[in-house]
């Protein structure tokens, strides 16, 4: 089963496509817009598996920075200016965590990866980048690789999984870089085994290609691989990590690698418009995430295993003849759920469950049509808010959700 790659998802960044955000008001200015209802319902839900930052009030986000900031950084110091101060300190910490010589802060991962691979293309003499067709640049970035950076993607495999070493060796075209998304989001947040990852990176080097990790959620991968962040990152020449996904930061990303290349990426960051005057809120939030969330991610992964298993039990006990939890044992904090109903019905069922019971087992409005027609999928994320859920809680919530789905 693969995700629906025919849906244009470039306008929603890293959120799944919404099944319906059109207003149901029919011209009534007093009626609540659909998207406003979803925001209200998620914000007011008492029990969730994860609390998306988009549903938290601005006051709460600012209060968190003020309350937790002093525990990770000296707030009496001067604000950063064009990347010094707290931003430079964050860069050093990331480089140390990943075992790399240097790291550069970027406002977005899209910019960071384009810049990294553009710089590698100049060094390798090849603009060809081998990557999976379900990878982030191909699904979410509006063809930025081609139209902005003049890079040319080469498909590694069409299967909804990571490529094998043999597939890398058999790519007919020359390529200068192999990009691996860890985990691969649109295939169900999948990771290879450690042995498979080592073999694939070795195969790329046999082709005289560099290896770049799209590690937006690399922070979550240590439990699956049984290796430290530095050991994982050592397999790649450069690594990109995000601060707002696993670590609950405000925004921003980092690119880590050799001194000489990172120095070059800083020049291109400026050319791409990423040399921002002050970025201390994002940098401070990232430091808080590294201090507070990073040590707990393995605990969240273990809870995700329980949630996925109990969710499957709930679907089964509710009498569904077909459903899919992918993968059955998640590799990170996220997994996919597939159900044989229209996406609109599932969004409405989730909204009514949260409004009537205060329980939001699925986030809204994150259900999207799948292939073939008549089925839909969502992404389930597990975080700190889930830790007081028991298998029975998940099972009962899922069964209650199924009862609310419109036939």
Assess whether 240 and 151 both reside in one domain: yes
CA 157 – CA 391 distance, rounded (Å): 37
Kindly state whether residue 24 falls inside one of the protein's structural domains.
Answer: no
Kindly state whether residue 12 falls inside one of the protein's structural domains.
Answer: no
Q: What is the mean pLDDT of residues 250-274?
A: 97
Residue that finishes a domain, picked among 229, 245, 277:
277
Kindly state whether residue 130 falls inside one of the protein's structural domains.
Answer: yes
Express each pLDDT in 282-333 by its tens digit: 999 999 999 999 999 999 999 999 999 999 999 999 999 999 999 999 999 9
Express each pLDDT in 170-224 by its tens digit: 999 999 999 999 999 999 999 999 999 999 999 999 999 999 999 999 999 999 9
Express each pLDDT in 323-372 by its tens digit: 999 999 999 999 999 999 999 999 999 999 999 999 999 987 789 998 88
- Of the candidates 346, 364, 347, 353, the one whose C-alpha atom is nearest the C-alpha of residue 40 is 364
Domain hosting 226: range is: 80-277
- Give the pLDDT score at 7: 38
Q: Are 86 and 285 in contact (CB under 8 A)?
A: no
Q: What is the mean pLDDT of residues 229-242?
A: 98
Helix (H, G, I), strand (E, B) or coil at 266: helix
- For residue 248, give the CATH number of its domain: 3.40.640.10
Kindly state whether residue 155 falls inside one of the protein's structural domains.
Answer: yes
Residues whose CB is less than 8 angstroms from the CB of residue 95 and which lie 6 or more positions away in sequence, other chains included? 101, 102, 103, 256
- Give the pLDDT score at 27: 53
Assess whether 97 and 201 both reside in one domain: yes
Q: What is the mean pLDDT of residues 13-30?
A: 46
CA 179 – CA 162 distance, rounded (Å): 11
Kindly state whether residue 230 falls inside one of the protein's structural domains.
Answer: yes
What is the share, in percent, of the chain residues with pLDDT greater than 90? 83
The number of distinct structural domains making up the chain is 2
Task: Give yes or no for a cis peptide into 183 (omega within 30° of 0).
Answer: yes
Assess whether 116 and 255 both reside in one domain: yes
- Give the pLDDT score at 184: 97
Predicted TM-score of the model (pTM): 0.91
Kindly state whether residue 114 falls inside one of the protein's structural domains.
Answer: yes
- Give the pLDDT score at 372: 83
Asked if residue 10 has pLDDT above 60, the reply is no
- Give the pLDDT score at 8: 40
Asked if residue 17 has pLDDT above 70, the reply is no
Kindly state whether residue 271 falls inside one of the protein's structural domains.
Answer: yes
Assess whether 246 and 304 both reside in one domain: no
CA 151 – CA 358 distance, rounded (Å): 47
Assess whether 110 and 146 both reside in one domain: yes
Assess whether 336 and 249 both reside in one domain: no
Assess whether 85 and 230 both reside in one domain: yes
Residue that finishes a domain, picked among 277, 312, 328:
277
Kindly state whether residue 101 falls inside one of the protein's structural domains.
Answer: yes
Q: What is the mean pLDDT of residues 139-149?
A: 91
Buried b (16+ CB within 10 A) or exposed e, 379-400: bbbbbbbbeebeeebbbbbbbb
- Give the pLDDT score at 28: 57
Q: Mean pLDDT across the chain, nearest whole number?
A: 91
Assess whether 236 and 355 both reside in one domain: no
Question: Confidence band (pLDDT; 50, 70, 90) for 23?
Answer: very low
Asked if residue 238 has pLDDT above 90, the reply is yes
- Give the pLDDT score at 296: 97
Assess whether 268 and 311 both reside in one domain: no
Assess whether 308 and 237 both reside in one domain: no
- Give the pLDDT score at 31: 66
Asked if residue 4 has pLDDT above 60, the reply is no
Asked if residue 81 has pLDDT above 90, the reply is yes
Assess whether 165 and 215 both reside in one domain: yes
Residue that finishes a domain, picked among 218, 250, 277:
277
Asked if residue 100 has pLDDT above 50, the reply is yes
Q: What is the mean pLDDT of residues 245-273?
A: 97
- Give the pLDDT score at 18: 42
- For residue 349, give the CATH number of its domain: 3.90.1150.10
Assess whether 120 and 240 both reside in one domain: yes
């Amino acid at each position: 089963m693969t995700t629906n790659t025919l849906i244009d998802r470039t306008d929603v960044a890293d959120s799944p496509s919404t099944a319906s955000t059109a207003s149901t008001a029919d011209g009534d200015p007093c009626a609540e817009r659909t998207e406003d209802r979803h925001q209200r319902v998620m914000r007011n839900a008492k029990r969730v598996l994860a609390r998306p930052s988009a549903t938290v009030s601005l006051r709460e986000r600012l209060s968190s920075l003020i309350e937790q900031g002093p525990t990770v950084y000296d707030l009496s110091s001067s604000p950063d200016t064009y990347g010094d101060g707290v931003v430079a300190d964050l860069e050093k910490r990331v480089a140390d965590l990943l075992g790399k010589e240097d790291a550069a802060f970027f406002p977005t991962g899209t910019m960071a990866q384009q810049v990294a691979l553009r710089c590698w293309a100049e060094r390798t003499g090849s603009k060809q980048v081998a990557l999976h067709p379900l990878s982030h640049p191909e699904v979410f970035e509006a063809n930025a690789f081609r139209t902005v950076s003049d890079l040319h993607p080469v498909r590694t495999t069409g299967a909804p999984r990571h490529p094998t070493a043999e597939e890398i060796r058999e790519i007919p075209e020359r390529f200068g870089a192999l990009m691996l998304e860890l985990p691969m989001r649109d295939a169900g947040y999948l990771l290879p085994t450690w042995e498979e990852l080592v073999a694939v990176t070795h195969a790329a080097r046999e082709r005289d290609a560099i290896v770049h990790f799209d590690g937006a959620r690399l922070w979550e991968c240590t439990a699956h691989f049984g290796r430290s962040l530095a050991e994982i990152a050592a397999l790649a020449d450069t690594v990109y990590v995000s601060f707002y996904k696993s670590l609950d930061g405000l925004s921003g990303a980092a690119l880590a690698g050799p001194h000489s290349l990172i120095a070059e990426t800083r020049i291109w960051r400026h050319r791409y418009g990423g040399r921002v005057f002050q970025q201390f809120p994002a940098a401070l939030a990232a430091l808080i995430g590294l201090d507070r969330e990073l040590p707990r991610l393995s605990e969240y992964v273990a809870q995700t295993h329980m949630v996925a298993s109990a969710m499957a039990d709930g679907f089964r006990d509710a009498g569904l003849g077909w459903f899919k939890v992918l993968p059955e044992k998640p590799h990170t904090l996220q997994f996919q759920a597939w159900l044989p109903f229209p996406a609109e019905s599932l969004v409405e069922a989730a909204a009514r469950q949260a409004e009537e019971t205060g329980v939001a087992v699925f986030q809204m409005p994150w259900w999207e049509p799948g292939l073939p027609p008549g089925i839909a999928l969502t992404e389930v994320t597990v975080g700190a808010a889930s830790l007081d859920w028991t298998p029975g809680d998940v099972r009962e919530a899922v069964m209650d959700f199924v009862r609310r789905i419109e036939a």
